[in-house]
Structure 1
């Protein structure tokens, strides 16, 4: 009976070890895919208007060597695709949540730069959300202010 219990415990331990190993490999592959994912916006201008003389729009140029940028004509002659991806490692798990809440996720800076670049090229200025019109700060107003502040680095492009 002792041998059967010890055998079952050893087999269970080996199974848990194999499961952890496999799940860590999946997480690593997912992290690599997320890190190499391109973030893309379509700008309603010709490629030579988006990057005149090979110069990137100011918001993307500010990121410098922290991003890889690709510019190409959009399918069907519908403007220009402006794509970028961060070269810094992308956090995962709990650190990803903390980085996103703290505004330190490298993808947020790339998203914000792409949005601002599109606005700058298409309209000549970076459009911002209006300030809230409350006369005194309230707890709900602070939440709205926080959401508006973080909105540039989150969501869809």
Structure 2
């Protein structure tokens, strides 16, 4: 590899690093796109491979969603193309939604996401499926990075 080619590649890497740092700085300052009222109250949806009658048997919601009570509004509708049922939920009340609350596991949206995942699992499999192994056991920097990201994700599920 020539010196000119090496310098060119280093400049590309440096440019990507600067752009990444700017994106992080822009994300960390000012109002966060994910923290506005529209995002806070948006519908979160999962498709369950069951008919609507099986999803809401006897007019009761699956247990994980029913436990949230008045915290959420729930809709059950047929999925497009007769591919099961869409189970949708959104928050009805307020609560902490900042990035700090999310990292600490205190964001109410995390509870809604987890309840939807658990309801889907119960309806399709009959139990809540949890992973047996950690996402990676590789001791290198990449493995530590994935482990840290998984810890921060908390109620958000696997990456």
TM-score (norm 2): 0.65
Residue 23 (structure 2) aligns with: none
Structure 2: give runs of 5+ residues left out of the alignment: 1-29, 138-142
Match of residue 41 from structure 1: 46
Please give the root-mean-square deviation of Cα atoms over the aligned residues, in Å. 3.2
Higher relative contact order (CA 8 A, sep 6+): 1
TM-score (norm 1): 0.66
Shift of 1:150: 3.5
2:120 alignment counterpart:
118
Distance 2:150 2:106 in 1: 15
Of Structure 1 and Structure 2, which has the larger fraction of its residues in helix?
1
Structure 1 runs of 4+ with >4 Å offset: 140-143
Q: Which runs of 5+ in 1 are unaligned?
A: 1-23, 135-139
Q: Decide whether the 8 Å contact of 1:72 with 1:82 is kept in 2.
A: yes
Counterpart residue number, 2:104 = 102
Aligned to 2:60: 55
Offset, 1:146? 7.2
1:79 pairs with 2:81: no
Shift of residue 149, structure 1, vs aligned partner: 7.8
**Residues 38-87 of structure 1: CA deviation (Å, up to 9, x unaligned):** 00000000001111011111111111111000001111111000000012
User: Greater CA radius of gyration, 1 or 2?
Assistant: 1
Are the counterparts in 1 of residues 73 and 91 from structure 2 also a CA contact under 8 Å? Answer: yes
